[in-house]
Amino acid sequence: MKGKPLQQTEKKLDKHCGDSVPSFITVYIWFQIFWSDYVGTSDVERSGRHEEVTTPEIIRKLLDMVMDRRRVKVHQIASSVGISSWNSISINFAIRTPEV
């Protein structure tokens, strides 16, 4: 891009990237961002689910709950430990599956 016009940059990308070249509109958006003097280097905060982390503490809580009451429901584990139902299932499966 280095100070070159949009069309010239697109031709250069076509030459070097072949089939995996980004679309014209993507390159256009890149130019708009660069021309607007945007200099941020970090990701913008996004709405949505928070990233979940599986820590030894969470695994211990989950294991203790299951050992205390064998018939505890997945959503009960998830809400008391503070993780998603899917994450509680995957942790429980990993605990119970012997490593090969």
Read off the pLDDT of residues 34-54 as tens digits, 9 standing for 90 and up. Answer: 777 766 666 666 666 666 667
Range of the domain at 26: 6-35
Tens of pLDDT, residue by residue over 1-15, are 456 677 787 788 888
Q: Is residue 61 part of a domain?
A: yes
Does any domain span residue 41?
A: no
Query: Number of structural domains, the chain?
Result: 2
Residue with tokens 């959503």, as numbered in its chain:
75
Banded model confidence at residue 25, pLDDT cuts 50, 70, 90: confident
Average pLDDT over residues 20-35: 80
What does the alpha-carbon distance between residue 58 and residue 51 come to, in Å, rounded to a whole number?
14
pTM: 0.41
Main-chain phi, psi angles of 59, to 5 degrees: -60, -45
12, 27 Cβ separation under 8 angstroms: no
The CA distance from 54 to 98, in Å, is 19
